Amino acid sequence: MALPPLLRLDGVRLTFGGTPLLSGVELNVLPGDHIALVGRNGSGKSTLLKIAAGTVEPDGGEVFRKPQATIRYLAQEPDFGESPSVESYVAAGLGPADDPYRVAFCIESLGLTPDARPADLSGGEARRAALARVLAPEPDIILLDEPTNHLDLPTIEWLEGEVASLRSAVVIISHDRRFLEKTTNATVWLDRGAVRRLDEGFGAFERWRDKVLEEEERDLRKLSAKIEREEHWLRYGVTARRTRNQRRLEALHTIRQERRDARRATGNVVMKAGETRESGKLVIEAEDVAKRYGERQLVSGFSTRILRGDRIGFVGPNGAGKTTLLRMLIGKTEPDAGRIRRGTNLDLAFLDQKRASLRDDASVADNLTDGRGDQVMVNGELRHVVGYLKDFLFSPEQIRTPVGMLSGGERARLLLAKTLATPANLLVLDEPTNDLDMETLDLLEELVANYPGTVLLVSHDRDFLDRTVTSTVAPAGDGRWIEYAGGYTDMLTQRRAEAKPKQEKPREAAPTAPPKASASAPASKLSFKQKFALENLPKEIARLEKAIATAEAEMADPALFAKNNKRFAELASAIDRDRSTLAKAEDEWLELEMMQSELQG
């Protein structure tokens, strides 16, 4: 017998400015559902989530929430109210039956300071605080609007595990394909004001969507063929029936036009990078570059050689120094030590993650042209701003709108339009994927993958990196950065491959075999304590992983908290402690491995 829904939207309608945004939308959220809510920018996803959360009232239709069901909603812009600290803000989201320990757990896991004032938080910290408030309780339904925006990769990966393990029903809006694939078991597609549901996770969505669109195209072709038959009959059929069938023909034409207009309703982004002269073969060469801010060594001894046509991705936690390293390479920040040489004929286009080049008080058109009229030069051709911005889904009415009134997705598209209009052979993109819908991401991926010049890219979107870059630069601790061939997944594979033989080497070596002089001399430079740690840390890491898994399995019992809340708290505390110890052990082992590798040449 099917379980009753926790939340049901039936025939929901909403109109903004005379244009229907939602028309007859239906959405059922059942216990255990982890739903990916997908659709184009501007299709109404966030509005639908607000209706579900009760913060927006629809014009019509029915909204049913199960009595006593609890809902937590992560908005794109968190409201901290009068909360004096992060801890009090997160704790305010708990219900009477929720575990207060979860407040400290979520704050620590998300790298927040409990006593920090919410008003002083950066954009990324504010996002993590809002996530902690939503995840600390255990409500019946959790609604997440772009939860991965402004998060670094370690935090995204932690969030994946947390969301995937939730017993609450979850509805997620996100542009991060990998995140949706790992956290969802159903997909709801909001398209042209209506919804379709697929009872499979996001991994199956794109194949299913393409099939649906192919069926629509087939229906349109059938309709066109029927109209052609009607036209032929009217021309050569019985004259007495001509008037009546002419009306029928006009009705069929109207239906066909309506279907075509519906397919074109959201439009398609047209994306092409500005072209310029070809750069020299050598684009950037760095030797032993270093940069320190205060006590923090962000970059130490970094060397690379970037050639024309390379597409380099930079990954790592927030604060690791990705943007600093990028800005040094392109000449916007000077290194403390080392040498950077840049090639000839370099023309740079730079997309800044902070969107500092956009002025909130200026109009969309003035931001694009810097206030110099109504035309913009694109690939050597003057284009009117209205025509060019239509390529990025801006309506003529929006051209004079102040940028401060645009949504996050609209600001992202405007910054792309401005950046891509710049003639360049070196494209530098710092977090370009934030707030973009998947269709626009697809086009940006294609543009980057086929760009004839050179691309330097900072991103936390693993799928985007895998599809675009030729090599990945990742931090290795203490300011060191290592370049790996391929995308993000390739980088992880290479790191594991490098680590695995070294773990097994002490067990494989024959104890009676005399060591070679060339290998033993460098290895002896490790102290006895370091060698002992290198051999025994893998065992300690395995023990900690097993202890965490055992404790988590015991905590998975839904009745444990009710039967023995003291044991539940002990397990949660042990897991938190073991995870912290595990992270330190892994860092220490990795550092020793790299030290041994360097000593062995």
Give 281-318 as a 3 state SS string.
CEEEEEEEEEEEECCEEEEEEEEEEEECCCEEEECCCC
How confident is residue 559, by pLDDT bands cut at 50, 70 and 90? Answer: confident
Task: Pick from 183-192, 246-255, 555-564 the range whose average pLDDT is largest.
Answer: 183-192
Q: What is the pLDDT of residues 8-22, one digit of tens each?
A: 999 998 887 666 778
Q: Is the pLDDT of residue 259 over 80?
A: no
Write out the binding residues for ATP.
39-46, 316-323
Q: Is the pLDDT of residue 257 over 90?
A: no
User: What value does the mean pLDDT take over residues 472-478?
Assistant: 91
In whole angstroms, what is the distance from residue 373 CA to residue 385 CA?
9
Strand pairing partners for 473? Answer: 314, 483
Q: Is the residue at 273 inside a domain?
A: no
Q: Is the pLDDT of residue 252 over 70?
A: no
Domain end point (choices 207, 225, 244): 207
- Give all strands of the β-sheet with 60-65 in edge-to-edge order: 19-29, 7-16, 60-65
Determine the angle formed by the axes of helices 408-420 and 438-449, rounding to 10 degrees.
20
Q: What is the pLDDT of residues 171-184, one digit of tens each?
A: 999 989 999 999 99
Q: Which domain holds residue 341?
A: 282-492
How many C-beta atoms lie closer than 10 Å to residue 323's C-beta?
Answer: 20
How many C-beta atoms lie closer than 10 Å to residue 394's C-beta?
Answer: 23
Within 66-185, strands assigned E span 71-74, 141-145, 169-173
Q: What is the pLDDT of residues 562-597, one digit of tens each?
A: 778 778 778 878 887 887 787 787 777 777 776 776
* Residues 70 and 202 reside in one and the same domain: yes
Task: Pick from 134-148, 273-287, 314-328, 562-576 the range whose average pLDDT is largest.
Answer: 134-148
How confident is residue 523, by pLDDT bands cut at 50, 70 and 90? Answer: very low
* Residues 535 and 473 reside in one and the same domain: no
Mean model confidence pLDDT for the chain: 82
User: What's the pLDDT at 337?
Assistant: 94
Q: Is the pLDDT of residue 511 over 70?
A: no
Q: Is the residue at 417 inside a domain?
A: yes
* Residues 295 and 420 reside in one and the same domain: yes
Q: Is the residue at 275 inside a domain?
A: no
User: What's the pLDDT at 477?
Assistant: 85
Q: Is the residue at 499 inside a domain?
A: no
User: What's the pLDDT at 168?
Assistant: 93
How many C-beta atoms lie closer than 10 Å to residue 347's C-beta?
Answer: 17
Q: Which CATH number covers residue 304?
A: 3.40.50.300
How many C-beta atoms lie closer than 10 Å to residue 202's C-beta?
Answer: 26
Q: Which CATH number covers residue 583?
A: 1.10.287.380
Question: Structurally, how many domains does the chain consist of?
Answer: 4
Considering only CA atoms, which of 458, 156, 484, 433 is closest in space to residue 325? Answer: 458
Domain end point (choices 492, 525, 543): 492
Write out the binding residues.
39-46, 316-323
* Residues 219 and 300 reside in one and the same domain: no
* Residues 259 and 110 reside in one and the same domain: no
* Residues 154 and 224 reside in one and the same domain: no
Q: Is the residue at 274 inside a domain?
A: no
Choice between 561 and 165, residue whose per-residue pLDDT is larger: 165
Q: Is the residue at 80 inside a domain?
A: yes
Provide the Cα torsion 94, 98, 99, 105; round to 10°: -50
User: What's the pLDDT at 262?
Assistant: 44
Q: Is the residue at 538 inside a domain?
A: yes
In whole angstroms, what is the distance from residue 346 CA to residue 329 CA?
13
Task: Pick from 34-43, 177-186, 544-553 the range whose average pLDDT is largest.
Answer: 177-186
* Residues 215 and 336 reside in one and the same domain: no
In the numeric block, which tokens belong to residue 83? 């909360």
Q: How far apart are the first and last CA of the chain?
A: 65
b/e code 255-276 from CB counts within 10 Å (16+ = b): eeeeeeeeeeebeebebebbeb
Say if CB 433 and CB 459 are below 8 A apart: yes
* Residues 515 and 383 reside in one and the same domain: no
* Residues 345 and 485 reside in one and the same domain: yes
User: What's the pLDDT at 263?
Assistant: 43
Three-state DSSP at 600 gives coil
Domain end point (choices 229, 263, 297): 263
Considering only CA atoms, which of 413, 400, 390 is closest in space to residue 362? Answer: 400
User: What value does the mean pLDDT take over residues 98-110?
Assistant: 92
Q: What is the pLDDT of residues 395-426, one digit of tens each?
A: 888 888 888 877 777 788 888 888 888 888 99
* Residues 299 and 349 reside in one and the same domain: yes
* Residues 360 and 226 reside in one and the same domain: no
Q: Is the residue at 500 inside a domain?
A: no
* Residues 40 and 183 reside in one and the same domain: yes
User: What's the pLDDT at 545?
Assistant: 81
